[in-house]
A and B are shown apart, each in its own frame.
Chain A
Amino acid sequence: MSGLPLDGVRVLDLTQVYAGPTCTRMLADLGADVIKVEGLTRVDITRNFVMPENNSEDDYWNRSGYFLLRNGGKRSLTLDLSEEGDGAGVDILKRLVAECDIVAESFTPHVMDKFGLGYDALTKIKPDIIMISLSGYGQDGPWRDFSGYGMGLEPAAGLSSITGYAGGDPLRTGISFTDPYSGIVGAGAVLSALLYRRRTGKGQYIDLSEQEAAVPVVGHALMDYAMNKREPERIGNRSHWYAPQGCYPCAGEDNWLVVTVTTEDEWRALCAATTNPEWASDKRFADLASRKEHHEALDELIAGWTRGQDQYEAMHTLQGAGVIAAAVLNPKQALLDPHLRERGFFDRVKTERGPRPVPHQVGARFSAFEMPSARPAPKLGEHNRDVLQGLLGMSDDELSALEEDKVIGDTPAPAVPLPVMRMFVQWPLVSYEQMGALGVIEKDYRKQLGIE
């Protein structure tokens, strides 16, 4: 095993929430030293999401599961960048740029310019700096100043126009799809810029629009419009290309199986594996075109078989016969899935409240190195001393003065008082359960996960 690809690379990370931190988290796992900068009045909002046991006491902002996923393995520096801060934070930031290879930011366009930290300014401090801006709609164009939330960008990228039940409204994925998507695109853009710098010695500026990043997923539908002037229909879980394809109910409550048949061999295998050889000779299903035409009748027949099946057993039965099939796992089942377990997809991170499973941040295994995925997230301001003394050689007195002026610190100073924040941070889980937005809350989940 060798070192990591980005050993020796340092990233100044001014991004917050989901897309930007996903980008820099990947760089951290690939070996970069990532310094995450937050202001005490502008703490990353994800420090408020998903508390162990839904508990918001004490320094809750250091315990968020959501924050850990995107920020594990980074160092935390607090700096007040606001106008009230007399520019001390911005000055420190400029000195840090000189020590970094990459600056990542996700402010609204022109905020960095306002700080005097635009790309041109940065190149005067560090000529070969690589800077990436991740924003909702990009740095120019009529929508550049739009406020872009992840929940809006998946529809804005066109993806929701092809997602939804047949005849129904467009729907979003149950995650902010474009955030992880553009975060990964950003990581690849930075790596490309690093390879270019390695060859030429030149840095550069990357403008990443989160709306644009995800448009390629709609590529086939864009091509259909360009070729045939046809807008897409929403088709639920069916396929444009194959039949049958669908999501079918299995034994038990809210258990499902997805099935796709792509060839005549697979069709015959499905009929045999479900012990329904008569389907294979049914004229309604004789070929792809007829199966598409009689999809509804076919769905009912397949559901008639799946309803009596355990979803995992049905997956193995069909896959064993050479048919594409998979159980629809809920998040708990995904955590316990034998394949993902054997692949080590979920690492175990040590936290103050015990070990917790976290997914690997890159969906790949490398033969030459192992990625350090299971590192905890930094506490707010945990590395203030480390960074300011280690990189900038500041004295103890200077640090004390910065603490006194609240330029640095370890406790958030949000616009709403902390007691109100503590209420906001506790989610109304019982109400969610009553609404049907949560299945159950299992008190013995740690036992079930084997992390007691």
Chain B
Amino acid sequence: MRASPVADSALDGLRVIDLSQGIAGPYCARLLADLGAEVIKVEPPDGDSTRKLGPFPGDVPDPEKSGLFIHLNGNKQGVTLDLDSGEGRAALRRLLATADVLIESETPGRTAELGLGFADVSGEFPELVYCSVTPFGQTGPYAKFKGNSLTCMALSGLMYVTGDPDKEPLATGGEPADYFGGLHAWVSVLAALELRGDSGAGQHVDVSCLESLGVADEYNTTMYAWLGAIRRRFYSRHHIPTYPSEIFPCRDGHIVVIGGATGFPLMMAILLEQPELEDNQLFQNLWLRTIEWEKFEKILRPYLMEHDWRDLLTRAQELRVPFAAVMSPQTLLADDHLSARRFFGEIDQPGVGKLPAIGVVFRMSETPLAFGAAPALGADPAEVAEASK
């Protein structure tokens, strides 16, 4: 149920049927819900697959208590439908008759087998924006491959350039390809709705998580396409002339050391409390520092190990040197800055209790965003009937 309906929200009056499972599709639908759309999550009888995935309170699996599911499905209503039955499919069609957007994440071809593909429903519901979100898209040789964020990291080229040179390529934590896919689906659905505002027509949107992540590639394919250079992973270090711009250990944790445009040589020398370093060639010459980085680190690392991250961060920023914090869940949830910005909301999740809501990723002056608990599993036939009206 929606905890805090907002009268004048950005997407007021919009109804979304979220047939998707996993991370990408549900995250897209959740963003629409946060903006004020009415989102009805349609789950199979045994629930969205993420209900089986932790974290769970006390590590006890419970489909009503998955932290991942709650994070991705807050602020939605829920019904269950068995699409393998004619009755379930008929009920879905009744829901579609009232909907503006459908989001689905089935293996390409599966909805068509059920008679629920875009071609099957677009005649009856010409205004429907029908969004498919899958790892590799609806077409192409890998369309029916099984995929997840890791496979997308691998095929996008991003994994190859992440990690240490003497180790295996490293995937970014947190299933990033799914989140990128969810964001691209969200933007695409909004664009299709904007177009529908003029044309009156819906359409099919085919979102590939691989391509959504691939677009994020900063300059790696470009380095090959513009000068034939194949970039390798090198401690996540940039080729763009900024060394250092990476994470180092310090006395009580870690700190991101970035010199920025104006940090070297003077400000960094002051920060390290060794003014004579201003004249050091490694501080004066960017390319020398980049190439002889091991010599530079012999100066940097011992100092960092004698200081705490908050002290380093504060003093660096006072000198306009863009150091940054390495935040963790604990420090994020307790952080003064995020707290002052009221970044985390709070939901009361039935059976679990109070949890942080991580929905408000930007602020709009006229249309506050909403957040609410995730739906319980289990169809309430009355609710389906009500929703179909």
Contact = CB atoms under 8 A, between A and B. Distances in A.
B210 to A, nearest CB: 8
29 contacts: A138-B363, A142-B337, A142-B340, A151-B242, A155-B247, A155-B327, A164-B173, A165-B170, A173-B162, A174-B231, A175-B217, A184-B183, A195-B194, A216-B179, A218-B174, A218-B332, A222-B329, A223-B71, A224-B54, A224-B55, A226-B356, A227-B67, A254-B232, A324-B148, A365-B205, A366-B192, A427-B239, A438-B230, A446-B228
A-B interface, 8 closest residue pairs, ranked by CB to CB distance from nearest: A152-B324, A223-B67, A363-B212, A162-B173, A445-B228, A174-B161, A363-B211, A326-B151
B23 to A, nearest CB: 9
Interface in A166-198: 169-177, 179-181, 184-189, 191-196, 198
B233 interface: yes
Interface residues of B, number: 164
Interface stretch (A79-87, A88-96, A340-348, A381-389): A340-348
B142 to A, nearest CB: 4
Contacts of B366: 196, 202-205
Contacts of B123: none
B228 A443 contact: yes
Nearest to B201: A368
B215 A360 contact: yes
A213 interface: yes
A335 B221 contact: yes
A437 to B, nearest CB: 4
B67 to A, nearest CB: 3
A359 interface: yes
Interface stretch (A33-41, A109-117, A240-248, A398-406): A240-248
Contact of B215 (A222, A260, A359): A359
A15 interface: no
B234 A217 contact: no
Contact of A193 (B10, B54, B138): B10
A357 interface: yes
Contacts of B171: 163, 237, 247, 258
Nearest to B206: A365
A174 B233 contact: yes
A200 B197 CA distance: 13
A62 interface: no
Contacts of A152: 245, 256, 258, 322-324
Contacts of B198: 3
Given A188-B187, A212-B361, A359-B221, A330 B163 contact: no
B39 interface: no
Interface in A326-364: 326-335, 337-340, 342-343, 345-346, 356-364
Nearest to B132: A364
A446 to B, nearest CB: 8
Contacts of A258: 150-151, 153-154, 159, 171
Interface string B275-291: 00000000000110011
A155 B325 contact: yes
Contacts of A199: 12-13
Given A195-B11, A428-B287, A222 B358 contact: yes
Given A359-B217, A437-B231, A207 B363 contact: yes
A5 B176 contact: no
A249 to B, nearest CB: 7
Given A188-B187, A193-B364, A171 B170 contact: yes
B139 interface: yes
B223 to A, nearest CB: 6
Contacts of A332: 221, 224, 230
Contact of A363 (B193, B208, B231, B355): B208
A78 interface: no
B337 A159 contact: no
Contacts of B150: 237, 239, 245, 258, 260, 324, 326
B109 interface: no
